Amino acid sequence: MLLSRNYGTWLLLFLLISPSFLAPSMSQLDSPWAAKKRHMREKVRKMFYHAYENYMKHAFPHDELKPLTKSFTDSLSELGNLKLEHLPQDYNGSALTLIESLSSLVIMGNNTEFERAVIWLSENLTFNTDARINLFECNIRVLGGLIAAHILATDSTNRLIQGSYKNQLLNLAEDLGRRFLPAFDTPTGLPYAWINLKYGVMENETTETSTSGCGSLILEMGALSRLTGDPRFESAALRALRKLWSMRSSLNLLGTTLDVTTGEWIEYSSGIGAGVDSFYEYLCKAYILFGKEDYWRMFHSAYLSVQKYFRHGPWYHEADMRTGKATYWQLTSLQAFWPGLQVLVGDIGAANSSHREFVYVWEKFGVLPERYLLDHQMLHPTEKYYPLRPELAESTFYLYQATKDPWYIQVGESIVNSLNSYTKVEGGFASVRDVTTMQLEDHQHSFFLAETCKYLYLLFDDTFLVDRNYIFTTEGHPLPVLSSWHERLPETYILTNWTYAKSEQQKRRASAMSLQVCPAIAVRSGYGVQKIESACHIPDSRGDHRCFTDEECGVDSTTCRRRSCSMAGYCGLWV
């Protein structure tokens, strides 16, 4: 079920991001699962520090660790595999993995190491270097990491860096954001995929980019504008997003790759995986973070089209954006983020269904292969690797927050055990080159610390989220949901569908979803009869219930059945 605009966002904020409103924190639990969660939390903590300490010892200040050879790679830029003596003289390393680890350090309670890292970055990090970088990757990893860390460093409740922090990370983020802006100087406003940090867009630069590459910049650049007061960053990202949306087909579908100068599609086939995934994610999360109605309208239309043209039972295939006809029947590991996104909009049933299929594939191979051919029920012959991706752990975390079903704890335990069994080496955690043989590859991606370990840790210990509202970027960096960042707070944001359930220990918000109520009922308590809105209710698009298609009809609040459009043009329970 897709929640309506009126209920979806705030259900997200209080159901998922502030778990203290729905259930006691882990420290308050008194159940057989409490000991299990504490044990698994410590296993994840050890995993994180094994990866982090090896990076600091063998690769810092370069981008990422090569755990098998205990060396480094500067993977974010074209400097990639150059040896130390061949690096440009002005290159000091971007310390990518350190930046990516900052919020994880705070979440795991290591404020001392966080402060040391912030001080080092403040004194040493520079972006005035002759390096060609990928705009999308640098945005979600570096810019997002700096912004999230700045917010954590200035949050008085965290008691971090008392008196010694003077917005140095924000200054670095602003400098980086300014270096991004020349990439948007195109006839369409769609940014180049690659840019040189020192010299801007290079001559004969490729004009091809992906939907994710130009449509997944709004969270970080929007947050940068809100923090600095400089509107150029958000304006550039929003212009690109709106241009991209204008290029959709009549089916409200988009392709995978396009030309930033002509605005023409190159690859018409797309799905919810690589090249498109974070576009959908950022539409939804941008609405939550900034409150702009346009984001929700775009996401709602796109989501309905995905469900109509890509979904086949619990799976999602790819389709031609022009016709909606299936093109590739394949599961990709990046698709595993989708159940987590569905949780954010309240489509719990569909999220659970897809998530269980990903878990099945994980258990079949021990990890999640990069690509699995659904029509042949076999691995893709060349993409059999697993680069320590976080998406399954991410969706598992969201589903547990929404349902509190201990089965998801067991899934998390299985993921942790597999990672320790198959990927842990003396020098860190290594990617899997071939899931059939578990042959390893010499690469520990920074997102293993930014996302994989973080989501697993939060699955077992959500203390960081208690009494706080956050969304996580596509790279797992937390951004706070602040009323001051919203352009407006209309009446629809007032929590009219919430009531309060009191106990001797605490007063907490309760909703239909938290009480797992469907349909709407009246709950009798010591404080009188309280009406609780149905968790499944989705109003019709129009107040007069007129319609042209079934998509304009909602879900009935009494029966929780999907309403349909009659031949006379009215929504109702006709079928």
Q: Provide block-wise average pLDDT over 10 residues at a time, the chain (575 residues).
A: 39 42 44 91 98 97 97 70 41 84 97 94 94 96 98 81 84 98 98 97 97 98 97 97 98 98 98 97 97 94 96 95 96 96 93 96 96 91 96 98 95 98 98 98 98 98 93 98 76 39 40 40 46 58 78 72 76 72
Q: Distance between CA atoms of 308 and 560, rounded to whole angstroms?
A: 20
Decide if 143 contacts 197 (C-beta within 8 A): no
The Cα 251–Cα 309 span in angstroms is: 9
Phi, psi for residue 194 in degrees, rounded to 5: -130, 145
What DSSP string describes 255-312?
-SEEETTT--EEE-EE-SSTTTHHHHHHHHHHHHHH--HHHHHHHHHHHHHHHHHTEE
**How many helices (H) and strands (E) in the chain?**
18, 26
* Helix (H), strand (E) at residue 208: strand 208-210
Which residues fall within 8 angstroms of residue 476, CB to CB, at 6 or more apart?
103, 390, 394, 447, 450, 451, 454, 455
Confirm whether 220 is a catalytic residue. no
478 contacts 102 by C-beta, under 8 angstroms = no
**Cβ proximity of 211 and 266 under 8 Å:** no
> 311: burial class by Cβ within 10 Å (0-12, 13-18, 19+)?
middle
Strands 564-565 and 571-572: antiparallel
Which of 252, 213, 219, 255 minimizes the C-alpha distance to 238?
Answer: 219
Quote the tokens at residue 552. Answer: 């304009």
- Smallest CA-to-CA distance from 50 within 101, 103, 15 is with 101
Residue type, 491: E
What's residue 29's pLDDT? 46
Name the token pair of 561: 């059945």
Ligand-binding annotation for 157, yes or no, is: no
Is 370 part of the annotated catalytic residue set? Answer: yes
pLDDT at 325: 97
Residue in the structure block whose two tokens are 């630069």: 205
Catalytic residue, chosen from 100, 113, 174, 391, is 391
Q: Note every long-range contact of 70-78, with CB atoms under 8 Å and residues 24 or more positions apart, other chains counting.
A: 70/427, 73/443, 75/443, 75/445, 76/133, 76/134, 76/137, 76/138, 76/141, 76/142, 77/131, 77/132, 77/133, 77/134, 78/131, 78/132, 78/133
Peptide bond into 61 cis (omega under 30): yes
Helix (H) or strand (E) segment spanning residue 120? helix 111-124
Per-domain boundaries in the chain = 34-485, 537-574
* Count of positions (residues) in the chain: 575
Distance in angstroms (rounded) separating the CA atoms of residues 272 and 426: 36
Catalytic-residue membership of 264: no
User: 91 burial class (0-12, 13-18, 19+ CB within 10 angstroms)?
Assistant: middle
∠ CA(314), CA(318), CA(323), 5° rounding?
Answer: 115
- Among the listed residues 349, 397, 405, 408, the one whose alpha carbon sits nearest the alpha carbon of residue 535: 349
Catalytic residue check, 277: yes
Task: Return the bridge partners of 472, or none.
Answer: 478
Give the CA dihedral 324, 330, 333, 338, nearest 10 degrees: 30
Q: Give the C-alpha distances (Å, rounded to integers) separating 274 from 34, 47, 248.
A: 37, 27, 18
The phi, psi pair for 283, rounded to 5°, reads -60, -45
Q: Are 458 and 107 in contact (CB under 8 A)?
A: yes
Cα 179 to Cα 340: distance, rounded to the nearest angstrom: 32
β-sheet bridge partners, residue 145: none
Catalytic residue, chosen from 64, 113, 347, 370, is: 370
Among candidate residues 277, 461, 462, 475, the one labeled active-site is: 277
| Look-up of token digits 């990439």 | 183
For domain 34-485, the CATH architecture is Alpha/alpha barrel (1.50)
Structure tokens at 60: 């810092």
Which tens digits make up the pLDDT trace of 66-85?
999 999 998 776 443 333 33
pLDDT at 488: 57
358 membership: H or E segment, kind and range: helix 348-365
